[in-house]
Amino acid sequence: MSPLLAQFIAESRDQLEMTSAGLLAIENNPEDLDKLNEIFRAVHTIKGSSGLFEIRPVTILVHAAEDLLDTLRSQELRLDRRMIDLLLDAFDQVNQWLDVLERTETLPDEFETTARTLSAPLRAFLGNRPSEEAAPAIAAPTFADLDWLGQLLEDDRAILYARLAGTGARLTLFRYTPDAQCFFSGEDPFHLVRQAPGLELLAIGPTEPWPPLTEMDAYQCLLCFEGVASGPFAELATLFRYVPDQIILLETPPEVLIVPTGRHDADADYTGFVAEARSLVDQEDWDGLRGIVDALLEHSEPEAWIASALRWLRRLLDQSAADMTLRPLLEAMHTQQGPDWLAILRASAEEAGGPTAAEFHASTAPRALTVVEHKAFQHIIAEQSRILEMPVAPEAWTGRLLSICAVIGNSLRYAGHDQLLEELEELRETARETRDSGLLRGLLAQLAEAEEDDRAENTPAAATAQKTKPTEEPAGGEKQAIKTLKIDQHKVDRLMDLIGELVVAKNSLPYLAQRAERVYGNRDLAREIKEQYGVINRIAQDLQSAIMQVRMMPVGHVFQRFPRLVRDLSKKLDKKIQLIVTGEETEADKNIIEGLADPLIHILRNSIDHGIEPPEERLLLGKPEDGSIRVKAYQDNDSVAIEITDDGRGIDVAAVRDKAARRGLVSAEQAETMSDHDAIQLIFAPGLSTTEQVSDISGRGVGMDVVRTSIEKVGGTVTLHSQPGKGTDLRLTLPLSMAVTHVMAVELDNKPLGVPMDLVVETVRLPPSAIYSIKHREAFMLRDQLVPLARLRRLLNMSEPVASDAALAILVVRVHGENVGIVVDDFREGMEVILKPMEGVLGSLRQYAGTALLGDGSVMLVINLKELI
Amino acid sequence: MPVEMMKNVACFKGVCTVEEAEPLLQWLQDQQRAKVKLKECTHLHTAILQVLMAAKVMVTLPPDDPDLARWLMPALKNRR
Amino acid sequence: MKKILVIDDAATVRMYYRQVLEAEGFAVEEAGNGYEGLEKALTEAFDLYIVDINMPKMDGYTLLRTIRQEPTICATPAIMISTEGQIQDANAAYAAGANLYFNKPVRPESLITTARLLTGEHRA
């Protein structure tokens, strides 16, 4: 026997002995209130302790005695002999039960009847006083029955059952009755339910009949969600972890879905059918059973309950279900009720010695402790606030304050909020000195709110719900507002500039280290400076990427204009066009996004104007009447890609060849021989417009060359594919950010000059003799390939140095898809710079991409090789 | 505005939040034959859902979002 | 190790708390009535008091009121637990000096969680 039970039996016997002696004593001296109190307390103790065990008969009987004794000691009733007789009988009975308990460690349920019989006359003295029945030890919410599953459509249930039957899969049933006030804490129960993993069936209904619309309060939640999910039970329990008091979860086999529904026919008697069916099950004559089921089904009204039951029988037979499922259904047909799956489940669980459904619920809830702890923490904080609001005797003021602070401090420590302990201590001391706990109450309110916020973050509508909270304090709204900050763009730009300066300033440190070593001969100092440089460099990089994050915005910002554009233009041109936009949430630097707007609109206009054919033409071509334009954005490694695809007529290659030749962009011979793909690229050449007639839609003189230029300006590239009759596919690739540029510095006339690093292929030094002259052009051999050569001095109209035998420094770059060697005076190092575009009059100098500030304070020009070559 | 209320038709778009519930309720209180279009709606807050259910409105265009339509439409058709 | 003083006149109930709490690594002392409880509290330091209401010699309310006015022990957290079936007003417990109030039956897991939070005892 467990020591606890042994203790209970021994203690209760002592108490009962004292009680009996006491009752005999007051029989002679009814005024002895002390004695009466003593008796009451003894009985009270037995009752209190009995609640720790499953001994309901004892609890019920002792409870009745206690209630009677309570009214006696408060002198609401006068003691009489009959009461004493009855009490003594009751306690004799309890003594006997203690003997049984000692022998068997349990009390049979039948004793409960005896307990009630003996309690009745005791309670009779109490008149109408309500009897408080002892609550069951575990009050986990459970389903009273599973009949509610019947409200889900039979066909839906049948499909789900057919899918799961025999697979061993289990279902989780749930009933979620949200708190009426839940909207005020930012909850959206429907949203929560939609997240349920493997949600299969759902019934949404009001908890009570709908009020008239004029009396309805939209912000009182009146709904109840009942449903069935096939996802793992643990995941469902996790999903609903913040509403444990509003949710009932039960894991069951799929058989619970078998609930016949429909109109009951009181006169019908199916005893004969059930008996016959049962014997067919016994004989395992499934065809025979199927036969009588079908026969009866044919004669039943489809809406009748019995028809529904028969349909289920039929389904079970088709799925060759086990007797275990068939029999309960047959039993149910006797009464036209049930089957009571909950009772069946419980019985089979007990048979197997497994946990009952209710226990199962309690033991498998994951992180149950965490949920309990969370709830307990909230409760403790709330109660401390409540206590602080209550009046208190002056001499107990400090004690109360200190105990409350100890409780909060310990709870915070347990919850891992150690960072708040110092603040708590300060508030405690302040409160102690001023004898005012206002500030402390403030902290508690904050804690309660922080908890709320944590919960609110789980629902998308949380922020908006906070806003409309009509009665709650406004503090919650303020807190929400701080989470997103609207910043003036100029301030961000200013921050960007400052970071640029920091990057530049940091670049002066290597120079300083060099000077320390070379000029002052101090190696150690040089090393230390380099170390510091490493640290500052890292911080600067982090800072830079942080601020770049701030500047990121979704490309959808630009895409917003498209639907309107497409609608208006297609209407104007009598075309039918479907625009499909995806990936709006892809992010890139603000400047890049903004630089994208015009080129994208131009591309779209081209597609609408030239690409998509008129509907009648499309129908003749066997294409769908509606043309489609897809705009798709996505992140591709370090860049953002945007694809614009249409299913129009594609680019007329012949027309492009013809026009390019006529405009002298290429020779007639070149136009003939170049591949289709290359020819199509010619539309990017300046001044080429493929349609004869200039429409007012794609504009005048502004062609694809402008698109390419603007994309390249922000460091992007454009590729184009087109198939005649099938459509055109444009792909823009853009850097995520344009803040930092890697450049390779080269020397020209003793000055540094920057070349964008992404163009540089390699650096080589060759003797002048390795340079071939072919007509007027120079070239050299690099790994068996002839590479054209250009001289940077010539490109920039600078004087040539005197020819010498010294090796030439050649920078091999890739421009327009071709390798080109560029002769420079000398190479310098690669570096990161903040590139500033040329401004003012210099802005028109297209051969320069911009300027960059160097570590030593000088300014370096960065050349635009694509323009120069 | 994710919920656009016109003469006797309300048009729902995207995610319709809790603050739309009260204006919607007021609008419905004045409407004898209210209709709603949910075609472009991707989610509606519980508060809106219960207002629609209580008002027994007619849905002329169910949501395109198959998931939303699956859970929502039976509740809006089920006139208890 | 955190120390808890259980003050209840029912030996079975004290034993129950002891079993539950000791299993979770708390040290438990017992007192059978308020008076005995006060004596123990004044001679030994505890991290938490668990107090019954109805007890002989000194009831739980009186005990808590006295504790809150006693400078050496007034800061110790206290839970008050009513006897089963007697649903009393938590305010009476709070006015006397309790920090938390439970109606019986207290489930073992809530008792443990609460004890951990109120004593700041970290889980192993």
Q: What is the ipTM of this complex?
A: 0.94
As a whole number, mean pLDDT of residues A61-80 equals: 84
Could you read off the pLDDT of A751-810 as tens digits, one per residue? 889 988 878 888 888 888 888 888 778 889 888 888 999 988 888 888 877 777 788 899
More confident residue, B15 or A357: B15
**CATH match for C3-119 among 3.30.420.480, 3.90.1150.10, 3.40.50.2300, 3.40.50.2000:** 3.40.50.2300
Highest mean pLDDT among A105-114, A223-232, A662-671: A223-232
Interface contact flag, A410 C110, Cβ < 8 Å? no
Q: CATH code for A3-124?
A: 1.20.120.160
Q: Are A354 and A298 in contact (CB under 8 A)?
A: no
Please determine, for residue A328, whether its predicted confidence score (pLDDT) is greater than 50.
Answer: yes
Q: How far apart are the first and last CA of chain B?
A: 31
CB atoms within 10 A of CB A38: 18
Q: Which residues does A215 contact at the CB level (< 8 Å), separation at least 6? A: none
Measure in Å the smallest separation between the Cα of B73 and chain A Cα atoms: 10
Q: Are A562 and A631 in contact (CB under 8 A)?
A: yes
pLDDT value for A816:
76
Q: Give the bridge partners for A116, in sequence order.
A: none
Q: How far apart are the first and last CA of chain C?
A: 11
The type of residue at A300 is S
Please determine, for residue A466, whether its predicted confidence score (pLDDT) is greater than 50.
Answer: no
| B15 in contact with A, Cβ within 8 Å | yes
Q: What percent of chain A has pLDDT over 90?
A: 6
Q: What is the Cα gyration radius of chain A?
A: 43
Could you read off the pLDDT of A145-200 as tens digits, one per residue? 777 888 888 888 888 888 887 777 888 889 898 888 778 767 788 988 988 888 99
Q: Does domain A555-651+690-735 have CATH number 3.90.1520.10?
A: no
As a whole number, mean pLDDT of residues A310-318 equals: 82
Q: Does domain A741-868 have CATH number 2.40.50.180?
A: yes
pLDDT grade for A738, boundaries at 50, 70 and 90: low
Could you read off the pLDDT of A675-714 as tens digits, one per residue? 888 888 888 877 665 544 444 444 433 467 778 877 877 7
Q: What are the chain A neighbours of C119 within 8 Å (beta carbons)?
A: 410
pLDDT value for A348:
64
Query: What percent helix, strand, coil does chain B show, rounded to 5?
Result: 40, 30, 25
| A847 in contact with C, Cβ within 8 Å | no
Could you read off the pLDDT of B3-50 as tens digits, one per residue? 888 878 888 888 888 888 888 888 888 877 888 888 888 888 899 999
pLDDT value for A357:
36
pLDDT value for A132:
45
pLDDT grade for C106, boundaries at 50, 70 and 90: confident
| B45 in contact with A, Cβ within 8 Å | yes
Could you read off the pLDDT of A800-811 as tens digits, one per residue? 777 777 888 999
| A399 in contact with C, Cβ within 8 Å | yes
Interface contact flag, A221 B47, Cβ < 8 Å? yes
Q: What is the CATH number of the domain that holds B28?
A: 3.30.750
3-class state of residue C123 by DSSP: coil
As a whole number, mean pLDDT of residues A336-359 equals: 59
Give the residue numbers spanning the domain of B71. 3-77
Please determine, for residue B64, whether its predicted confidence score (pLDDT) is greater than 90.
Answer: no
* DSSP β-ladder status, A639-646 and A717-723: unpaired
A153, A202, A461 member nearest B17 (Cβ)? A461
Return the residue in A373, A403, A418 with the most chain C beta carbons within 10 A, the one to mutate for interface testing: A403
Please determine, for residue A480, whether its predicted confidence score (pLDDT) is greater than 60.
Answer: no
Distance of CA A490 to the CA centre of its chain: 33
Q: What are the chain C neighbours of A363 within 8 Å (beta carbons)?
A: none
Buried b (16+ CB within 10 A) or exposed e, A457-484: ebbebbbbbbbbbeeeeeebeeebeeee
Could you read off the pLDDT of C38-89 as tens digits, one per residue? 989 988 889 999 999 888 888 888 999 999 998 888 999 999 988 644 555 6
Closest chain A residue to C16 measured between Cα atoms?
Answer: A4
Interface contact flag, A461 B18, Cβ < 8 Å? yes
Please determine, for residue A545, whether its predicted confidence score (pLDDT) is greater than 80.
Answer: no
| A11 in contact with C, Cβ within 8 Å | yes
- CATH says A147-210+218-258+359-364 is which class? alpha beta
* Minimum mean pLDDT range among A23-27, A43-47, A821-825: A23-27
pLDDT value for A638:
66
Please determine, for residue A225, whether its predicted confidence score (pLDDT) is greater than 90.
Answer: yes
Query: Which chains border B (3 or more CB–CB pairs < 8 Å)?
Result: A
